[in-house]
Amino acid sequence: MRVVTERIPTLKSVTVGVWVNTGSRDEQPSQAGYSHFIEHMLFKGTHKRSSAEISREIDALGGEMNAFTSRETTTYYVKVLDQQVHRAVELLSDLFHHSRFAPKEIEKEKEVVLEEIRMVLDDPEDLVQELHSSLVLGHHQLGRPILGREKTIRTLHQQDLLRYRDIHYDPAQTVIAIAGNFDQARIDPMVARYFGKVRAKTNQANGRRSPAVHGGLLLRKKRLEQVHLCLGLKGIAAGHTDRYALYALNNVLGGSVSSRLFQEIREKRGLAYSIYSFLSGYSDSGMITIYAATRAKEVDRVVELVCREIRRIGTKGVEGKELERAKTQMKGSLMLSLESSHSRMSKLAKDELTHGRHISLEDMLIQIDRVSEEQVCNVGRQFFQLDSLAITGLGPLVSNSLSAYR
């Protein structure tokens, strides 16, 4: 396992994270939801602790323990006061290496995960983005829901989960990231003691297949007060050399309250309360997504305005003042986002998994400053093109909604 650390003596906390380079994109169709389900099961009891004892122990430390699954990674972390770091590492190690996966606990957790899936179905903002991913990425694993499908969750068994974990939880694909106030001379042998005895797997996971990004139109009627929209374009991979230029264009388009879409659609015209854009970057691909929620009769108008701004950026780029404002906002947001041990821990792990090295805050700020009008113009011409536009609509759509985009 790789270990990456950052000592921050001004903090009183330490966050320890274990990042496994496997997620929903590594599942076969019959395994949809396995990565996320395994994440749940690591908290359901080990050979020395019950699930209740795990909860009581982390509460007694005054800390926070949690986990999350993405399309490419599964993460487990503990955040505690600096004097509790040894107990935190031991507890995290026990969960990671010695969880029991008891059949009775698996059956109970199936119902919990199914309720989590139903929560997404009841949240139109989450649901439309999930539908949009399936439209843009098609049948590729990246286009499937991270939580899985009801059928695959109901039919999974203990041996299925253990086999999946045995294949994908390879030490060579695992990063331990630690950030906060700690003694490096003590943390190294501590991590080696609790995480250093696991051998690399001989059976390697299947290689990842890059997705094709599609345009198109997907409309789904649902009884709601608003129509929820996603508009998407092809983006870039997380480690792409043009990523800072695309971040700047996203900021100008819809990534802040001063962005074109927020000002035009919400502030000037009052067509939406929620309107924003964001980037999704994976190891080998990416997407640009715009989300908006509006009244059914205003759907075509909102889509027209969004397309107009995409077209403007694609043909004319951005003005110098706009770019400088975006770069200043990006730098401020970046620095503020790295003020906790948890965020620093996450950055350490992502840097290692994406780039194979640590990228300092100073280097990132320099890269943002280097973004030029010429670069964003070239990136805009390449990615802000409507011929590959994908549109997803969810809600009380009228019969002619978005008919021009069929």
Nearest Cα residue to 36 out of 70, 8, 85: 70
Please state, as a whole number, how many other Cβ atoms lie within 10 Å of the Cβ of residue 37.
24
Helix axes 51-60, 85-98, angle to 10 degrees: 160
Name the DSSP letter for residue 255: S
Where would I find the H helices in 138-226? 150-155, 158-168, 184-195
Q: Which of the following is catalytic: 6, 27, 39, 322? A: 39
Name every residue whose Cβ is closer than 8 Å to that of residue 374 and which is 6 or more positions away in sequence.
none
Residues in the chain, how many?
Answer: 406
DSSP secondary structure, 58-86, as one string: HHHTT-EEEEEE-SS-EEEEEEEEGGGHH
Cβ proximity of 214 and 273 under 8 Å: no
Neighbouring residues of 185: CB distance < 8 A, sequence distance ≥ 6: none
Residue 43 contacts residue 67 (beta carbons within 8 Å): yes
The yes-or-no answer on residue 39 being catalytic is yes
Catalytic residue numbers, as ranges: 39
